[in-house]
Amino acid sequence: MSKKRRILGLMSGTSADGVDAVLLELPAYFPKLGENSSPPLLSQAIPRGRVLEHQYTPYPDDIRAVVLEAMSGDLKTSSLAQLHFALGEVYAQAAKPFSSSAGLIASHGQTVFHIPRLDEGRGWHTRASLQIGEAALIAEMTRLPVISDFRTADLAAGGQAAPLVPFADRVLFAEHGIKRAIHNLGGISNVTYLPGLEVEDVIAFDTGPANCLIDEAVGKLGHRYDKDGLIAATGRRETRLLEVWLQDPYLQLSPPKSTGREVWNLEKLQGVFELEPKDIVSSVTAFSARTITDAYHKFILGHGLDEVIVAGGGAFNPVLMNLMRQGLAGVRVLTLEESQFAEFGFNSSTREAAAFALLGYYAFQGWTNTLPHTTGATRAVIAGKLSRP
């Protein structure tokens, strides 16, 4: 089986529930892995990639608990170091079934803390971002080269290290004559606006929370997530508090901007614990939807928008999706499963891992793979570090 343009992407998102392994195949007009050439011009034809296989590996409960503890900032250094290698082994095990099919692995790692801007009030004196899951262990166990640690190069160039996926979104999904948004509803919500093929026209940023507040709220009821939005549908929305939460300073910022669980957690929401648990779920679901649709009205709709294609776990939450559709009335909102790209293996669970596979391919070729105007960096960089087997 050919490995010439097949890259395995490994992605663990801010929901911290497990790892998606996606085998991406690029068309023949992309140079072979390691071939000395320039990046290809984007073809008018889409798609420009195909997902061949996908496998999801949930984190063991004990590891997920430690990951969430690390995200809260409460983990000791000795435990964090061990978690770094434990996750490396989890990723390696997830990758091993693909080791005979892929020529390269791109591992995003697990973000445990993200400081995109200085904030003395939070004790953020240095911009930083930390993704863990030791890549050398993945390379050793699979005998394949691994690209990892994608965010630090953009930070070094003055950027926020996020969002990085928009570079891949443009390569994979941009289409001449279609004004399309690709929207991810992971723990954090982020959007890539693609009004065509031109790089400078891309708009991308984190809108705020998606599932992180919902997951935290349903966790108090003994669940990992709100399956089919059933809890949100039975709770009561506290509109008074919703308007208070919407005054958060992050929501007032203009792009480029990025955020994470460090900002969006229940402890930071005024009055939330005055509510009944199911009412918290309903209220934060409405809050996430409102932050998303407000962002579109502020920063995107004025440029024109034909459709929004939604990916991530939140795409399976009908309450969240319906609230998005209501807030974006007149715009077609569909999931990746409902889109033209589903035929080629792209769905709500494969999009981000496929994106990092594409970013890893560009890094391995020695090509820049960031959009500095979406991250705030001074220049485009080669994001990702190489670990050889």
Residue 97 forms part of a structural domain: yes
* Total domains in the fold of the chain: 2
The Cα–Cα gap between 107 and 133 comes to 8
Q: Are residues 188 and 57 in the same domain?
A: no
* Cβ–Cβ < 8 Å for 200, 373: yes
What are the structure tokens assigned to 335, written together?
């999931």
Pairing verdict, β 385-387 and 146-148: antiparallel
pLDDT in tens, 43-76: 888 889 999 999 999 999 999 999 999 998 889 9
CATH number at residue 175: 3.30.420.40
pTM above 0.85? yes
At 122 the pLDDT is 85
* Cβ–Cβ < 8 Å for 141, 133: no
What are the structure tokens assigned to 139, written together?
């390379």
The amino acid at residue 234 is: T
Q: Are residues 86 and 20 in the same domain?
A: yes
Cα-based angle 9, 13, 19 (whole degrees, multiple of 5): 50
Q: Are residues 48 and 115 in the same domain?
A: yes
* Cβ–Cβ < 8 Å for 87, 71: no
Q: Are residues 195 and 335 in the same domain?
A: yes
Q: Are residues 180 and 222 in the same domain?
A: yes
The Cα–Cα gap between 2 and 100 comes to 9
Residue 302 forms part of a structural domain: yes
* Cβ–Cβ < 8 Å for 288, 14: no
Which of the listed residues 325, 344, 363 is the one where a domain comes to its end?
A: 344
Residue 217 forms part of a structural domain: yes
Give percent of the chain above pLDDT 90. 91
Which of the listed residues 309, 327, 344 is the one where a domain comes to its end?
A: 344
Given the structure tokens 């606006």, which residue do they identify?
Answer: 193
Task: Return the sign of the alpha-carbon dihedral for residues 159, 161, 165, 167.
Answer: positive
The partner residues of 12 in beta bridges, in order of sequence, read: 110
Please check the confidence at residue 15 and state whether its pLDDT lies above 90: no
Q: Are residues 282 and 379 in the same domain?
A: no
Q: Are residues 97 and 211 in the same domain?
A: no
The partner residues of 209 in beta bridges, in order of sequence, read: 188
Range of the domain at 141: 6-164+345-387
* Cβ–Cβ < 8 Å for 169, 159: no
10 Å CB burial of residue 252 (0-12, 13-18, 19+) is exposed
Residue 1 forms part of a structural domain: no
Q: Are residues 175 and 157 in the same domain?
A: no
The amino acid at residue 166 is: P
Residue 351 forms part of a structural domain: yes
At 134 the pLDDT is 98
Q: Which residues of 333-354 are buried (b: 16+ CB within 10 A; e: fewer)?
A: bbbbbebebbebbbbbbbbbbb
Q: Are residues 274 and 223 in the same domain?
A: yes
Which of the listed residues 310, 325, 344 is the one where a domain comes to its end?
A: 344
The Cα–Cα gap between 384 and 389 comes to 16
Given the structure tokens 């919500």, which residue do they identify?
Answer: 189
Q: Are residues 349 and 328 in the same domain?
A: no
Q: Are residues 115 and 155 in the same domain?
A: yes
Q: Are residues 90 and 203 in the same domain?
A: no
- The half-sphere exposure of 108 on its side-chain side, counting CA atoms within 13 A, is 28
Number of H helices, E strands in the chain: 13, 12
Residue 377 forms part of a structural domain: yes
Please check the confidence at residue 203 and state whether its pLDDT lies above 60: yes
pLDDT in tens, 212-239: 999 999 999 999 899 999 999 999 999 9
- Local structure of 298: helix, strand or coil: helix
pLDDT in tens, 307-349: 999 999 999 999 999 999 999 999 999 999 999 999 999 999 9
- Local structure of 106: helix, strand or coil: strand
